[in-house]
């Protein structure tokens, strides 16, 4: 079954909302049906970035487990781990670090963000 461009846009919008809301099981179903794990919004926010930014560790784990790239940056050159630091999502930050997120990528880098927010110990 081929989807129209409008249908593809709707599916992506729904998946992005599921990532924001931490609806892990429903989002996994979208991935099971062919949605790319590194799908992004128009502004370049990936499913993983949205789940991390909104502090959903289980969703982050599921996406990483399915091969999501922890180093994708959005259109503003923001990294996923720096965004999680900004939001105070410490558990998510630890998971991204464990997954090998590049702490020197993006603007600001995760190291710079950790220093700004006094949370450098999370990156050890």
pLDDT confidence of 5, banded at 50, 70, 90?
Answer: confident
pLDDT in tens, 43-97: 999 999 999 999 999 999 999 999 999 999 999 999 999 999 999 999 999 999 9
pLDDT confidence of 124, banded at 50, 70, 90?
Answer: confident
**C-alpha 29: how far from its chain's center?**
17
Buried b / exposed e across 28-51, counting CB within 10 Å, b at 16+?
A: bebbeeebebebbbeeebbbbbbb
Look at residue 32 in the predicted model and tell me its pLDDT.
Answer: 95
The reported pTM is 0.94
Residue 2 has pLDDT above 80, yes or no: no
Look at residue 1 in the predicted model and tell me its pLDDT.
Answer: 63
Q: What is the mean pLDDT of the chain?
A: 94
Look at residue 118 in the predicted model and tell me its pLDDT.
Answer: 86
Q: Where are the alpha helices (DSSP H) in the chain?
A: 5-21, 24-32, 47-53, 57-65, 80-87, 90-98, 110-116
Nearest in space to 49 (alpha carbons), one of 21, 70, 65: 70
Angle between helices 5-21 and 24-32 (to 10 degrees): 150
Domains along the chain with CATH numbers? 5-123 (1.25.40.20)
Residue 8 has pLDDT above 90, yes or no: no
């Amino acid at each position: 079954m081929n989807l129209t461009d409008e249908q593809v846009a709707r599916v992506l919008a729904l998946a992005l909302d599921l990532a924001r809301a931490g609806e892990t099981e429903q989002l996994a179903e979208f991935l099971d049906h062919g949605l790319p794990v590194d799908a992004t919004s128009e502004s370049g926010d990936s499913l993983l970035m949205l789940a991390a930014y909104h502090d959903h560790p289980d969703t982050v784990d599921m996406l990483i487990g399915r091969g999501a790239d922890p180093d994708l940056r959005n259109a503003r050159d923001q990294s996923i781990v720096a965004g999680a630091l900004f939001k105070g999502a410490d558990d998510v930050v630890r998971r991204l670090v464990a997954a090998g997120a590049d702490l020197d990528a993006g603007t600001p880098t995760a190291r710079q963000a950790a220093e700004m927010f006094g949370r450098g110990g999370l990156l050890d």
